[in-house]
Amino acid sequence: MCTITWLPRQDGFTLWHSRDEQRARAPGLPPRVERSHGIGWIAPADTEAGGTWIGVNTAGIATAIANLFVGTAPVAPATKVSRGLLVRSLLGLSSTGIVAGTLSGMNLLPYEPFTLVSLETSRPPLILRWDRQTLKPVEPLGRVLLVTSAGGHVPIEGARRELFRALETGTTLNGDAIEHLYRAPASPTGGSIGVDRPDVSTVSLTRIEVSPSQVSMTYTPGLPSTTAAGAPVNLLRI
């Protein structure tokens, strides 16, 4: 039930990604700097599969993924590849157009369904959905809300959309207001971004800042309502 939101600016953007996982899953590792295709990038790491769910590179391209629940049969274990490894493979690419072209040329059958977001300054968000049959572009859920992977939980998705719609129709649409939504206490009825249930919890919040001079990632390694953010990890733009 991850939620991905952005706030575009003329000279950059901010991206938020709350990661919801089963409590039995091992904690992720905090962001670190790596390099591929000659481009440096920042990403946290999934300790179980070795991939990541979000990253940003020195070209100013941010890419994130959310699970998609469409009721299809799971990929056979012998051929399954982690979606986090897919994200990792895209983080060295220098434009959202290259991200889209790379994905369209790939064999995606080893991957479970997903919605992938890729962002760059001064361009509309690229949002692609893979449902085990086709890869197709989809529209954002709102002006700032891009994706929420509530799956079949339609009331939860609707409640989250209303949270952001209230911001968008008021005068408080700014980074602080969005951050406040992500860090608000979890609602037991689903009317919040955070999740705190016996089986599932919001295990991290990642915020990316892209400006003309640098990219930055700030990582909160736990339930955002009760966990402080770590120090930002920064890279200069190329």
Sign, CA dihedral 99-68-125-179, equals: negative
Cα separation, 234 vs 237, whole angstroms = 10
Q: Judging by DSSP bridges, how do beta strands 135-137 and 145-148 pair with one another?
A: unpaired
Domain span including residue 22:
3-236
The pLDDT of residue 167: 87
- pLDDT given at position 22: 86
Beta strand 135-137 pairing with 3-9: unpaired
Residues 6+ apart with CB under 8 A from 46: 28, 29, 52, 53, 82, 84
Minimal CA–CA distance to 61: which of 217, 233, 222? 217
> If pLDDT is split at 50, 70 and 90, which confidence band does 159 have?
confident
CATH code for the domain of 43: 3.60.60.10
The pTM of this model reads 0.95
Q: What residues does 116 pair with on adjacent strands?
A: 65, 128
Question: Tokens in use for 38?
Answer: 């000659």
**Contact between 150 and 157 (Cβ < 8 Å):** yes
Predicted confidence at residue 170, as pLDDT, reads: 72
Question: In whole angstroms, what is the distance from residue 34 CA to residue 88 CA?
Answer: 10
Over 60: is that where the pLDDT of 175 sits?
A: yes
What is the phi/psi pair of residue 156, to 5°? -65, -45
The total number of structural domains in the chain stands at 1
Per residue in 12-45, pLDDT tens? 999 999 998 888 888 899 999 999 999 999 999 9
d(CA 102, CA 96): 10
